Amino acid sequence: MGAYKAPLKDMQFVLNELLDYSTHYNSFARGQEATAEIVLAMMEEAARFAETVLAPLNAIGDEQGCTLIDQQVKTPDGFKVAYAQFIENGWPALSHEPKWGGQGLPESLSAIVNEMFAEANWAWDMYPGLSHGALSTLIRHGNDEQKATYLPALVSGKWTGTMCLTESHCGSDLGLLKTKAIPHADGHYRIQGSKIFISSGDHDLSENIVHIVLARLPDAPHGTKGISLFIVPKFIPTSSGEIGVRNEVYCGSLEKKMGIHGNATCVMNFEDAIGYLIGEANRGLSYMFTFMNFARMGTALQGLAHSEIAWQKAYDYTQMRQQGRDLNVIEQTDSSPRVLIKHPDVLRMLLTIKAFTEGNRALYYYVLQQADRVLYFKDKQSIEDSHQLMELLTPICKAFMTETGLESANLGMQCFGGHGYISEYGMEQNVRDARISTIYEGTTYIQSLDLLGRKILMTQGNTLRCFTKIIHQFCKKHEQHLVITQWVKQLRILNKNWGNWALEIGIKALTDREEVGAAAYDFMMISGYICLAWVWADMARIASDQLSKGHTDTVFYQQKIDTASFYYDRILPRIEMHQKSMHSGLHTIQLTRS
C-alpha cells in the first residue's frame, strides 16, 4: 500500500484537453518534434523510472541521510546507481540545444517529465535539478569559452551544478555578503569565504560539480550593486574538457535538518579557490536571477509534488481503513465500522488536497507554456505578453503552491490519524520534506513583496492587467455555460476586485510604504486562490462538455466537476478572510515591547 504511481491520466488531461499542448508545440519550430506520440512515450518511460527506480529509494534516503567523510559527501544507498541510469537514459539532455549535446525538445516537456521524478523522490531529484539553473545562467551570461568548457558536461549530466548565495550573517539580504574575489594575474580570481545552506553542494553522483558563486571584488561598491558572479568548479577542467586538479572548495559540514535527508545541504568553504568571472563585474545579482527564477519554479513544483504524494497515500489509506460509524445509525452497538473516506470531514480533507494538487498542476503547466513562448516564439508582442505573465505568476506559483503543498501534506498525515505520525507510511516524512519549500528560494513573504511591490505596484498594475484580461475574456465567453455559469459570476467579481484591491494598497503606500509589507501575504494568497478559481472553472467546463458528449470515463470527469464545486464552495471563501485581514492595515500589526 502506498507505492508511488505517476499521475499520467491527470497530467494528460491538463496537457491535451485543458491547455492543448499539441497545438502549442506545433506553433514553434522546436516544439514540432514533440508530437503527441513522442510526448506520451517519454511520459510513460519517465513514469516507469520514477515508479521503479526513484520511489523505492525515497524512504532509504530519509533513513540513511548523507555522510561526510574526508570532506567528501556520500549519498544514500542506491542514489548513485539511479543517477547513472538517469544519465544513460538521456533525461538531463532532453530540452537543451543539440550543439551542446542536447535533444532539442521544448523546455516545458523537460519540466513536465521532471514532475514525476520530483514526486517519486524529491531529495534525489534536487541533485540534477539545480544543474538546469546553472546551465541557463551560463547559456545566457557566460562567454564562448565558458560555454564550450562547461555546457556539454552539464547537459549530459556528467557534471552537476549548484548556486552558492547565502552566508551565515545574511539570509536573503544578499547585499550583506562578504565572500571575496581577488583578481589573479592570469585572469582568474581567488574566491575566499563560506556559503551555507548549499543544496547538493557536494556528493558522489557526478564527477564534477560546477558552483555558481556570488562574491565581491576588492573595489566593489557596497550593497547589491557590488556583487559579481563566478564559476568555481570542484575540479578544474582541462583543455580537453576533462576534470583536472582539485580546486580549493570543500564541504565543511552537513546541515542537520528537519527533512530531505537524502539531499546534502552543505556548508561550502572556498579556501582561495580558483573562480572565473561570468559577464561583467558587479552585475552578478542580476545574472543570478536567471538561476533564481528557475529555482523558484522548481520549488513551486516541490509544493505540487508533496501535495500529489499526500493525495495518493491518503486516498488509498482512507478507502481501506475502517473506523467510526454512520452518524445516522442511532443504535451503534451492532453496526459495522465504516471506511474513513465515508466520513464527511475525511472527505473534506481529501477534496482539499485534490483541489490543490490538480489546480496547481494546471497553473504550473500554464506557466510552462508561457516559458516556451518566451524562449522559442519569434513575435515580439507574444514574447512580451508571455514574459509579463511569467513575471506575475512565478512568485504566485512559488509561494502559493508551496503553502498549499504544505497544507496538503499536513492534511494527508491527518487522514492517517496516529498512523500518520509514525514513519511506517511515509506521511510524516512528506510533511518534514515539504516544510522547507515555503522558506528557501525566497520565503513566502519575499515572494509576496515581489508580487505586490515589484510586479504590480511598480508597473502601475500593467503586469496584473495582462492576466486579468485573460480571465475577463474567459468569463465573457463562458458566462452562459450551463454547468459553470455561477462560478463564472463569482470569478468575474473576484477578477475585478483583484485589481481594485491592489490599487487601494498602492494608495495607502503613498503615505507609508510599510503598508505594502502588511498587506503582501494576504494579497499573495488571494492571488493564488483566484488563479485556481480560473483553472478549476475551465477544467469543470471541459469535463461537463465531455460528459455531455457521452464520454465513457464518467468517474474521472464527474470528479473534476465535484472538485471544482468543492473548491468554489469550501476553499474560495477563504478570500474573504484574507481580504478583511489585508484591509485592516499596518496599524493592526503592533506588539508592545519591554
Helix (H) or strand (E) segment spanning residue 562: helix 554-566
Query: DSSP string spanning 168-215?
Result: TTBSS-GGG---EEEE-TTS-EEEEEEEEEEETSS-SSSSEEEEEEEE
DSSP-based three-state secondary structure for 276 = strand
Q: Is 17 left (phi over 0), alpha (psi -120 to 50) or beta?
A: alpha
DSSP-based three-state secondary structure for 292 = helix
Angle at 524 between CA 518 and CA 526, to 5 degrees: 110
> Measuring CA to CA, which residue among 302, 307, 525 is closest to residue 408?
307
Catalytic: 504? Answer: no
Report CA-CA distances (Å) from 142 to 179, 211, 383, 565: 21, 14, 23, 49
Which residue bears the cell 574566491? 191
Query: DSSP string spanning 202-264?
Result: S-SSSSEEEEEEEEB-TTPPSGGGG-EEEEEESEEE-TTSSEEEEPSEEEEEEPP-SS-TTS-
Grid coordinates representing 498 are 483583484
Report how far residue 488's alpha carbon sits from residue 498's, in angstroms, rounded to the nearest whole number. 15
Grid coordinates representing 539 are 477544467
Angle at 372 between CA 366 and CA 375, to 5 degrees: 145
- The catalytic position among 441, 479, 514, 515 is 441
Residues serving a catalytic function are: 441
